[in-house]
Structures are given as structure tokens and as C-alpha cells.
């Protein structure tokens, strides 16, 4: 039998994880990337979002460990924090403050540059994996079968091509150039913008400090204004402010602080006041939910797409990297079950569609409620709940903040470990009466010791 060759388009997080999924099940894997890939946790042009905060949910961390054993340990050895969810997360959701119940899940927090480098280093060291510097211009083959890829004008033959070129992927265009049907594209665009600043954490808060989230109330009819503070390696905090259309967060220093102070709770502004700024605020605007329906009728053999090229989410929900990692696991399992036999591509693509369904629904059903949210192809009516469904959603959302059993199920979903089916388990349904719930929290659930480390530098009053 001829040796098999896979080409991965894009050497970002999805691309390097896809390479790990392919290694060992394909004789040679070539990752094509247009940027020079740094040998360290350093920024590069192709991943501009890396300057904004990136949390890695436990569902994604487990997937990375399955593909590249020891990844989360290596991240932690390099300074990433492992925070218990919900214990080490202070969150004001649309429904109120969340109790800090003992952790049932976790998240990894560090800079995106550290995550990418740690994954890249391990993936590119696998036998048979190499990088080719270059720009992907298109696909080679026919409408029914992709047989290679065009890199800087030259055809590189492949048994399998995996598109991981991110949000700006030109997959639809490349497919129509082959005569294949263009995948349908859904967009739910709340006009979300980011403004992010990096701080040195106050002395004593360099480690062991929680994530702090103040989220918008998507049901309020007002533009969504939110902020998150995330501790990362080297004693730094990354603070990202976000706003949907009509509430773009400012990028000047005074405006940054004022915006944080004007949120539903000013806790992040107070914490920020105790920290030393290390960078100026920086903006980003590519944050719409966008999904391509790949793998259906007419999908060619020899082509798989995963990561942001297929589904990009509103990043506020923190699910993009985890969905990419779980999609790479889905590819690995499809290869294990099917090898490179005909039908692999459609089978893998269907498995990837299942992985992204819950995070997609979670993000779009909230975002569509923001003023002037723009959609294409989406059945808006299906995303907006009936009055009865709305009441149930409010009840479950509020109860999840106060009841440990409902919270644990919701946490599984939010951390990209389970589908919404987790909320239908018998013990969760039994808890829906509300018996055993704690009283609603009226104040920020930061502990005294956490306030103490920042109190000295806080404004009085």
C-alpha cells in the first residue's frame, strides 16, 4: 500500500491539534503555514486575537491531553493556572451572582501565545509531522475528490486535506473553484468588540486569584456590556472589556476604566485600580458567530475542515479553542474507526458538527437577543424562545447559580464537556423544584483574603 500523506492548512491551534490527530494514522503530515512560527510563547500576525484573554475549558484541555498527553501539565509547569469551576470563578451572569460551590470542573488560564506554543512544540515533534512555510491559494482535485492543495502556486498532492485556516478561511471559494457546492453559511453577529489591557497583579495576588466575570444581561434589550479578569502566567492579569453593537468598549486608558466602572457591577474596575497597567488597551472586532455547514450532500472525499474555519463563536463564551480540540479528537476517532477509506471525510465532518452544536446553540440563542444583531440564513424565530421556554430558561439559569446539582450540570455544558442533555439527568430534573438551593447572592462573592490583597491600593469609600 502507498504511504499516506495529509496536508493541514494553517498552523494555528486547530491545525497543530489536527496534525496530532493525524500523526500515527497517516504516514506523513505536512502543516502549511504562512507565518514564521516562533520558538516560544510569542505573538505573530496570523493570530491577532492572541492579545485578548483566552480561557481553556476543561473539555478542551482533556481533548488536548488525549491528542498530546501531558499538555495541561506542561502548560502548568510554564505558569498557567488551573482554576476550579465554579469555586475559583466569580461570575455575575444574566441571572445573578454564582455561588462558589466546590469545583466540579476546571479551566486553564494563560496567554494564548503560551497555549499555542506548548501545543505546537509537542505536535510538530511527532514522527512524520513537518511544517512547510507558504500561502495556501486553493485546493486541487475535482468536485468529488480533493487530491491536494495549491501552495504558492504549486500543487502539493495529498490523500487528505484538513482546512484549519481560521475565521478568514476561503474554503467556500476554494470549493466552488473545484465545481463543488458552496457550504451554506450562517452568521449571528451581535457586533461584539473587545478592548483588552494587561496588568501586573497586585502583590500577593499573582497566583491563587479567581477569574472574575461581569456579564451583560442579554434579556435587557440593551447592548451587551461585559468584562472579564483572568489571571495568567508571570503574575499578570488580562482584562478584556466587551460590548455588542452600540456599546463598543473604548481603547483610551480613561475610557477603559470608566467602561469597567459602568458595568452591572464595578468589581473589575475596583480590582483594576489595584493593578499596574503593562500595556495600553488594544481592540478587536472579529467576534461574530459564523458556521459553515460542511459534510453534507456533494461534500468531496479527501477534505475535512475544523476549528474556526468551520465554526467561529462569539468568544465571550470561551468555547472556540475547546471546540477545535474536541473536533480534532473527533477526526482522530474517525480515522481510527475508518482509516483513509472512502467516506472518511463526510463521517469526520458529521462528528465535528455534533461537537460544535451545543456551544453554537448556547452562543447564538443569547446573541440574537442583543439590539441590531445581524443574522444570515438563521431562522431567528427558532432562536427566540416562546414565553414558556423563556420562563423555564430563567428558572434553570437562576437555579444553576444557587443549587449545587443544577450548577454541576450547567458547569459540564459551559466547560464544553457535555451537551444540554446533562440538564435532563434524573438528579438534575429532581433538583428543579429548587429544594436544597442556597439563597441568592446579593454581593460579589470575593473572599476576605482575596479583597485583602487588593484593598491597600483600592480607592476608599
Stretch that binds ligand FAD, among 79-87, 97-105, 317-325, 381-389 (CB under 6 A): 317-325
Note whether 122 binds ligand FAD by CB under 6 A: no
Q: Considering only residues 58, 147, 190, 322, which one is a binding residue for ligand FAD as defined by CB under 6 A? A: 322
Q: Considering only residues 5, 25, 52, 270, which one is a binding residue for ligand FAD as defined by CB under 6 A? A: 52
Q: Considering only residues 49, 349, 358, 366, which one is a binding residue for ligand FAD as defined by CB under 6 A? A: 49
Query: Distance (Å, rounded) from C-alpha 336 to C-alpha 37?
Result: 29
Query: Distance (Å, rounded) from C-alpha 198 to C-alpha 202?
Result: 13
Site string (328-357) toward ligand FAD, x via CB under 6 A: ------------------------------
**Phi, psi of 22, deg, nearest 5:** -85, -30
Taking the complex as a whole, how short is the minimal distance between the CB of residue 319 and ligand FAD, in angstroms? 6
Yes or no: say if 162 and 306 are a contact pair by the CB < 8 Å rule.
yes
Query: Distance (Å, rounded) from C-alpha 105 to C-alpha 417?
Result: 9
Q: Which is nearer to ligand FAD, 170 or 394 (CB)?
A: 170
Please choose, from the candidates 87, 101, 97, the residue with its C-alpha nearest in 3D space to the C-alpha of residue 397. Answer: 97
Note whether 360 binds ligand FAD by CB under 6 A: no
* Residues 170-189 interacting with ligand FAD (rule: CB under 6 A): none
Q: Which residue has the cell 491577532?
A: 48
* Residues 193-222 interacting with ligand FAD (rule: CB under 6 A): 194
Q: Which is nearer to ligand FAD, 151 or 334 (CB)?
A: 151
Taking the complex as a whole, how short is the minimal distance between the CB of residue 461 and ligand FAD, in angstroms? 33
Stretch that binds ligand FAD, among 31-39, 290-298, 398-406, 438-446 (CB under 6 A): 31-39
Query: Distance (Å, rounded) from C-alpha 395 to C-alpha 390?
Result: 9
Note whether 136 binds ligand FAD by CB under 6 A: yes
Taking the complex as a whole, how short is the minimal distance between the CB of residue 22 and ligand FAD, in angstroms? 15
Stretch that binds ligand FAD, among 8-16, 93-101, 174-182, 290-298 (CB under 6 A): 8-16
Stretch that binds ligand FAD, among 28-36, 250-258, 359-367, 437-445 (CB under 6 A): 28-36
Cell for 167?
A: 475565521
Q: Which is nearer to ligand FAD, 111 or 407 (CB)?
A: 111
Note whether 55 binds ligand FAD by CB under 6 A: yes
Query: Distance (Å, rounded) from C-alpha 171 to C-alpha 281?
Result: 33
Q: Considering only residues 24, 27, 34, 66, which one is a binding residue for ligand FAD as defined by CB under 6 A? A: 34
Q: Considering only residues 4, 58, 71, 165, which one is a binding residue for ligand FAD as defined by CB under 6 A? A: 165
Sign of CA dihedral 332, 336, 337, 339: positive
Yes or no: say if 310 and 359 are a contact pair by the CB < 8 Å rule.
no
Taking the complex as a whole, how short is the minimal distance between the CB of residue 11 and ligand FAD, in angstroms? 5
List residues near ligand FAD by CB under 6 A: 10-15, 32-35, 46-47, 49, 52-55, 135-136, 164-167, 194, 284, 286-287, 307-309, 315, 318-322, 324
Amino acid at each position: 500500500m502507498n504511504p499516506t500523506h495529509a496536508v493541514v492548512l494553517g498552523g494555528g491551534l486547530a491545525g497543530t491539534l489536527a496534525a496530532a490527530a493525524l500523526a500515527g494514522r497517516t504516514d506523513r503530515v505536512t502543516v502549511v503555514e504562512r507565518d514564521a512560527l516562533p520558538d516560544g510563547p510569542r505573538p505573530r500576525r496570523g493570530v491577532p486575537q492572541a492579545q485578548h484573554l483566552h480561557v481553556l475549558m476543561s473539555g478542551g484541555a482533556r481533548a488536548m491531553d488525549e491528542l498530546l498527553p501531558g499538555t495541561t501539565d506542561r502548560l502548568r509547569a510554564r505558569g498557567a493556572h488551573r482554576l476550579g469551576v465554579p469555586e475559583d470563578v466569580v461570575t455575575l451572569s444574566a441571572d445573578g451572582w454564582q455561588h462558589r460551590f466546590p469545583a466540579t470542573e476546571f479551566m486553564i488560564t494563560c496567554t494564548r501565545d503560551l497555549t499555542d506554543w506548548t501545543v505546537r512544540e509537542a505536535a510538530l515533534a511527532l514522527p512524520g509531522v513537518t511544517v512547510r512555510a507558504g500561502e495556501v491559494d486553493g485546493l486541487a482535485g475535482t468536485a468529488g475528490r480533493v487530491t491536494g492543495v495549491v501552495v504558492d502556486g504549486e500543487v502539493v498532492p495529498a490523500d487528505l486535506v484538513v482546512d484549519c485556516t481560521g475565521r478568514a478561511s476561503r474554503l467556500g471559494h476554494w470549493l466552488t473553484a473545484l465545481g463543488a457546492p458552496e457550504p451554506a453559511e450562517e452568521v449571528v453577529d451581535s457586533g461584539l468588540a473587545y478592548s483588552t489591557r494587561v496588568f501586573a497583579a497586585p502583590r500577593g495576588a499573582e497566583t491563587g486569584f479567581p477569574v472574575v466575570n461581569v456579564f451583560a444581561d442579554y434579556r435587557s434589550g440593551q447592548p451587551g456590556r461585559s468584562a472579564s479578569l483572568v489571571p495568567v502566567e508571570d503574575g499578570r492579569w488580562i482584562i478584556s472589556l466587551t460590548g455588542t453593537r452600540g456599546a463598543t468598549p473604548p481603547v483610551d486608558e480613561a475610557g477603559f476604566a470608566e467602561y469597567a466602572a459602568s458595568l452591572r457591577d464595578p468589581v473589575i474596575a475596583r480590582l483594576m485600580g489595584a493593578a499596574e497597567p503593562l500595556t495600553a488597551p488594544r481592540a478587536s472586532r472579529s467576534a461574530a458567530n459564523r458556521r459553515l455547514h460542511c459534510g453534507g450532500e456533494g461534500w468531496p472525499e479527501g477534505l475535512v475542515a475544523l476549528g474556526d474555519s468551520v465554526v467561529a463563536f462569539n468568544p465571550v463564551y470561551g468555547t472556540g479553542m475547546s471546540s477545535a480540540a474536541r473536533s480534532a479528537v473527533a477526526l482522530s476517532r474517525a480515522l481510527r474507526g475508518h482509516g483513509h477509506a472512502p467516506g472518511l471525510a463526510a463521517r469526520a465532518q458529521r462528528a465535528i458538527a455534533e461537537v460544535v452544536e451545543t456551544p453554537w446553540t448556547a452562543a447564538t440563542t443569547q446573541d440574537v437577543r442583543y439590539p441590531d444583531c445581524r443574522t444570515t440564513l438563521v431562522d431567528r424565530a427558532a432562536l427566540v424562545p416562546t414565553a414558556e421556554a423563556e420562563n423555564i430558561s430563567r428558572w434553570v439559569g437562576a437555579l444553576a447559580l444557587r443549587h449545587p446539582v443544577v450548577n454541576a450540570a450547567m458547569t459540564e455544558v459551559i466547560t464544553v464537556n457535555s451537551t444540554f442533555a446533562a440538564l435532563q439527568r434524573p438528579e438534575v430534573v429532581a433538583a428543579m423544584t429548587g429544594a436544597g438551593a442556597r439563597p441568592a447572592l446579593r454581593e460579589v462573592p470575593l473572599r476576605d483574603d482575596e479583597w485583602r490583597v487588593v484593598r491597600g491600593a483600592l480607592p476608599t469609600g
